[in-house]
Each structure stands twice: as structure tokens, then as C-alpha cells.
Structure 1
């Protein structure tokens, strides 16, 4: 007969940031792939203004796993209660809360409470240790971002590259999915290796060639949604100017053809700007540089995708 036990964990961090700014980061999971190192993708499923359900893909070294969560948000109390809907064994129940307390003007405390029920046996201690480590890493990650609240808007950058085709969507999605075939077909990709750690989850290792011909490695974790024509990705080791980089490829059919879109979401590393671009380089210059480099790489993929699909490019635009 298996024995279930409830294990309670608590963790708190103080942040040099207003309580409202810190709560906003807790309440909105959409940018968590840029803020939390182990988060690959989040996707809101339902939201009525106070209760939400969302999917969360997280893991280390490409072992991205999906979990489903329900959260109740209370902005007045700066509190978010959560529970996992279908936890994986040996966990039978996982609940908890985030709470933000104002300590003084410009100072706040983030408190994470967790209660994890597990079936005792082999693997239980490892699962509990991992849950505690994830919670501490999430709290620390949100604190670091919150303390940059004054300039955060200038560090965040999102943009898209897109190309329009006439023809079916399937071959376009197939080309994007088969990233292992890009070497020799995509101009800047010198080498490509892919491990599909489970259906739809890819661990990708690429070697890119920079503008001066120098090679540099790129690693990606990708979660693929073939039925929806989408591939989301995160680069755990992003471009030297970036603190984080995530995005999405999408193939969007419409009555007049197909749009293939690559979206990039990045968080700039302000401390790296002068180191990478030279003394006196501004944050504005860094934003333009990143936009140019990543945009050029995206367009370099869209061209071979068009050739693979065998259809002419009708329009190319940047947004």
C-alpha cells in the first residue's frame, strides 16, 4: 500500500523594486520564457479576468515537459494561488501561492509557498528537490527582472519577419520542422543536429556563420505543434548581446495563400552592449543590431522554404 505525504516548502526573496512591478511579473506568464531560464514556452488556455488556465513547457537541456496549471489572481492582495491540474507521478497534488509584500517605497518581498503531495518511494526525494529548485529559480529570476523595472521596456524587443506564398501549407511546415536538413540549404547554417527527445520536442544544435564568416554555436529547444502549423523555440545560450531569446515559426493559411511568420522575442543584456559593440555604443544601437542580425537570419530561412515549397514569393515584409 503506497503512502502519500504532503511536503511544504517556502521561499522568499527581497527585491529593489515596487511591489506593483513585481506582482505584474508574477501575474503575466506570457514573457516567462525571457525571464525564467528553464521556461521554454507558456500558453494561456482560458482567462476570465481572475482565473486562468495555462500550459507550461519547462526543462533543462532540451527535456522540455508540458504541465497544465490553474491560477487565481488577486491584484488587490498581490497574490496568485495555483495548482497543477494533472501532475505526473509520484506527485499526486501540487498547489501553492505567490505573494508580493511591500516592504518600503521601492522595496518588496516575493514569497513562494508550495505544498506537494507525493507517493513515498523511489524517486520521491528527487522530485521534491527538483520542485524546490524550480521554485527558488523562478523567484530569483523574477526578482532580477523586477529590479530592472525602470528600463525594462527598453530591454525588451519583439519583431516579425514574414513571407507570403501561394500553395499548400504542409511543405512549408515540413521544411521548418526538419531543421536538421538546413546545413547547406540555409546560407548561414554550417552544421545542424537534431534530437527529438519526445514527439514534438526537439533539441537542436546549429553552427552559424556570422557576417565576417566566423562560426558560432547556437542551441535551441523547440516545441512543435504540427496540427496548428506552429513551432516555438527558445535559445538557452542566446546571442552575446542578449540575456534571453525565444520566438515562434508559424504557417498561417488563408483564402489567398499562406503566410510564414517568424517572431522573435528578446531581452537585451545591457551590460554587454559596449563589450560587444564597442565603447560608447548605445542601447538603441544594440536594438537595431539585434533586429538586423536576427531578421537577416530569419529571411535566410524563408528563401529556401519558398524553394522547397516550389511556389513563388508573392510578398516579403518586415513588421
Structure 2
């Protein structure tokens, strides 16, 4: 059964200012406390289709909504297309009513249905709608009245950027793996990172400022491999009432451009307490710009160093892991374990040779073909050993690795002398599997062909 609610507030600002803030959905994370991030999936005239991430009763939820904007009637209607449980359906409207040239009434309407019409689900939604509606209306009032009376002096937006001659995937990995920041970044003391869903992170972090003091912040991060990470701080330093940000990775010829963007609202009542007597809003803007910009630039420079070092060479850990992989793989083959050897390929793996008319395709085909060959070899009484060497390694975006190496096959008859049977060059494309590797594609070229 559908439920309906209405929340309202009076705002000392012109209706046009209030409606403009409601209509500008891109600014919502910087205005409304529950809103973490919004992406516009589609826009056609006055119709918008959005994906929204927001907190509800302490949990982060995401859903898609369609909005209809009516600037003449000062009304924005919305309806969720895909809701997040325990919500089965939800819609409503923002209605902006001018009471005078300088005073406005805002009404926020909701109608909703709970999954299974369960009383506990209904109560959960009522709590979430009530809390979020009150928080959003209070924040809208504060933002609109600030714009109407003071302009936007307490709000500050700025961007820093660093050029990286390396892989965007490596830069993204550095920024995404925030749990490793205490070992990688000088200004980060401690991190707690959880991922309640893929691409969604809850990050609590202790950051050290230039004067040696430590600030604890808690953020929600929405991660989009390998292009951007957006975040909103829920637990803020004393000087800020809002802080949203975004890491963006833009591919360009020869590398990537990494940008860090911040939008903050300064808590003016805290300026003197934090910065000292007689400190001004201008002082606070300068302090925030320098502090956040310094930390962001430090993070990007370390990401640059990380990505460029990975592109310039191969770590000993990576090289050793690949040598161990080939040692195990070749022993399986030499011991006649065709099926286990085939399991070192991906399900859709390919094994091609210039001496064969067609490649083996798929793990089952590889296993069957190799089993036939090993059975024929066993019937001859010959023993064969594979030796690999001269290994070259090239890390690729997305964690894949390209290898090139020599492979020699030594054949020994029972009671006879070992002889070189075959000399080849090999090229593999490998992918991570747990703590090891699998071959996605192997090309073996026989020197005598």
C-alpha cells in the first residue's frame, strides 16, 4: 500500500534562487547532506534520467530516477525507475511557492511502497524519508539564504592537475587502493577502508596537516575504473560544513592527465576558533585552498611516481612470480599431466603454433589435444623436458602481462643420449588469477618453420 509524506520549510530567499538550486542536480552533493554523487544518464529537454547515490539510515543506497523540470510552475517531479530495497517504488515532487519577493515556501512530497509491504520496511523508509527530507530542506534553506544575502563567498571550488607519463590503470589503482596510503603517502597516518558493494567504498582516514595536527575524516567514494573516483566527506574537519571531490584520469597522447577537484563550504562560525582571533573568510579560503591542494598534489605526485615506475620497469616480485608460474607449468607438461597443464590457461584460452594448421581454442580443446600428443609420446619411450629462459615482461593496463621468452625441448630415449629436439620463441598474454597467473593467449613459433 502506497504511503505519502509532506515536509515543508520557509526560506528567506527569492523563489527563483530556491528553484535554481533544486533544478541544478549537479550541485546537490555540495548542498544536501544525504546526497553523495549523481550522474546524469540522459537529458532531453526538461526530462532527466539520473543515477543517485545517497545515505539512508546510515547506509549508502543507489537508484535511478527520472525527473521532470517545470520552470514556469517552479516544480520538479521525480520517480524512481529502479529502487533499492527495502524501497519497492518511490516518487514525489519539489514544489517552490513564492510568498513574497524575498520569501519562499518549499514543499517536498514523497509517495512510496515498501518491499512486501512489510511493516519493518515501511518503518525503515519512513525514518529515512523523514530524516533526509528535513536535512535536505534545512540545507536548501541555508544555501539559498547564503546566495541571496552574501553571494557564494563561503563556497570554494578549485582544481589541481599532474601529468603522468604512464598508464591510467596504474594511476587509478593507486588512487583506488586507499587502504595502502599510510605506506605510500607522507600525510596519511591511518586508513580504514571497506567496500559494501563493488565500486562503492567507505573510507575513514587520519590526515596530518602542515602544522602537525591530525584530522579524522570519513568519506563515501564511488569508483569508476579507470576514469574517475568521486567522494563526499561525511565526517569533516571543524572548518568545513561540506566537502566533495573528484579524482579524474584523462588519457592523452603519451600518458594521462590526473586532476583533483574540490568543492567546499566553509563553516564561518568556526573560522576564529580554528585559525585564531581576527581571522577572516578570506584567510579561511586561503588556508583551505593551500591545505587541500597540497595534500591532493602530493597524492597525485606519488601516483605519478608509482605509475611511471611500473611503466619503466618490472618489479622483482612480478618477475619472480612469472618465473615460478612457468616452472610449475612446464613441470606439469613434462610429467604428462595434460589436464592440469590445461588448467593453467583461461577457459577461453588459445594455444597457437606456426607449425600447426589451427590453434587450440578453449581449455577443453587444449587439454584433449595435449593428451593425445603426450599419449603418442609415451608410446615411443621418449622423455621430453622443457626449458624456458630469456624472459621479457611487459605490464599492460588492467593488470594483464605480456611475456616473451625462449623455450627449448630436450628429448632423451631410454638408455640413450639427450638431444635438443626443438627450439622456439614464445609470446604469452597472461591474466591474474588469485595469487597466480593464467594464459589467455600463447603463440609458439618453431625456429625450423
TM-score, normalised by the number of residues in structure 1: 0.91
Instruction: Verify the 8 A CA contact 1:96 1:114 in the aligned structure 2.
Output: yes
Question: After alignment, is 171-180 or 213-222 more displaced?
Answer: 213-222
Taking the aligned partners of 1:311 and 1:164, their CA distance within structure 2 comes to 14
1:238 to 223, 236, 239: 236
Q: Which residue of 1 aligns with 2:160?
A: 161
Instruction: Verify the 8 A CA contact 2:57 2:128 in the aligned structure 1.
Output: no
Q: Identify the structure with the greater helix proportion.
A: 2
1:116 to 87, 112, 116: 112
2:28 to 32, 38, 41: 32
Instruction: Give the CA deviation at 1:62.
Output: 7.0
SS, match of residue 184 in structure 1 = helix
Taking the aligned partners of 2:87 and 2:233, their CA distance within structure 1 comes to 29
Q: Which residue of 2 aligns with 1:179?
A: 178
TM-score, normalised by the number of residues in structure 2: 0.65
Instruction: Give the CA deviation at 1:132.
Output: 3.1
Q: Which residue of 2 aligns with 1:302?
A: 300
Instruction: Give the CA deviation at 1:123.
Output: 2.1
SS, match of residue 31 in structure 1 = helix
Instruction: Verify the 8 A CA contact 2:97 2:105 in the aligned structure 1.
Output: yes
Taking the aligned partners of 1:238 and 1:89, their CA distance within structure 2 comes to 29
* 2:10 counterpart of 1:14: yes
Taking the aligned partners of 1:220 and 1:61, their CA distance within structure 2 comes to 16
Q: Which residue of 2 aligns with 1:210?
A: 209
Instruction: Verify the 8 A CA contact 1:62 1:203 in the aligned structure 2.
Output: no
* 2:139 counterpart of 1:141: yes
Q: Which residue of 2 aligns with 1:261?
A: 259
- Give the length in aligned residue pairs: 307
Structure 1 residues 200 and 43: CA distance shift in structure 2, 3 A: same
Greater RCO (CA < 8 Å, at least 6 residues apart): 1
Structure 1 residues 63 and 129: CA distance shift in structure 2, 3 A: closer
Structure 1 residues 194 and 92: CA distance shift in structure 2, 3 A: closer
2:69 to 59, 63, 73: 73
Q: Deviations over 1:137-159 (max 9, x none)?
A: 22222112212122242122111
Instruction: Verify the 8 A CA contact 2:202 2:220 in the aligned structure 1.
Output: yes
Taking the aligned partners of 2:214 and 2:4, their CA distance within structure 1 comes to 48
Q: Deviations over 1:23-53 (max 9, x none)?
A: 1111111111121111111122222331111
Instruction: Verify the 8 A CA contact 1:62 1:197 in the aligned structure 2.
Output: no
1:63 to 59, 65, 80: 59
Q: Could you list the runs of 5+ residues in structure 1 that have no partner in the other structure? A: 313-319
Taking the aligned partners of 1:205 and 1:90, their CA distance within structure 2 comes to 27
* 2:127 counterpart of 1:129: yes
Instruction: Verify the 8 A CA contact 1:18 1:107 in the aligned structure 2.
Output: yes
Question: After alignment, is 94-103 or 234-243 more displaced?
Answer: 234-243
SS, match of residue 85 in structure 1 = strand
Q: Which residue of 1 aligns with 2:222?
A: 223
SS, match of residue 247 in structure 1 = strand
Taking the aligned partners of 2:57 and 2:209, their CA distance within structure 1 comes to 24
Q: Deviations over 1:75-119 (max 9, x none)?
A: 111111110111234533212111111112211100111111233
Q: Could you list the runs of 5+ residues in structure 2 that have no partner in the other structure? A: 311-449
Taking the aligned partners of 2:57 and 2:303, their CA distance within structure 1 comes to 28
Instruction: Verify the 8 A CA contact 1:158 1:263 in the aligned structure 2.
Output: yes
Instruction: Verify the 8 A CA contact 2:18 2:144 in the aligned structure 1.
Output: yes
Taking the aligned partners of 2:235 and 2:129, their CA distance within structure 1 comes to 23
Q: Which residue of 1 aligns with 2:50?
A: 54
SS, match of residue 98 in structure 1 = strand
Taking the aligned partners of 1:92 and 1:38, their CA distance within structure 2 comes to 20
Structure number, greater radius of gyration: 2
SS, match of residue 59 in structure 2 = coil
Question: After alignment, is 116-125 or 65-74 more displaced?
Answer: 116-125
Question: After alignment, is 84-93 or 140-149 more displaced?
Answer: 84-93
Taking the aligned partners of 1:132 and 1:207, their CA distance within structure 2 comes to 32
Taking the aligned partners of 1:236 and 1:28, their CA distance within structure 2 comes to 21
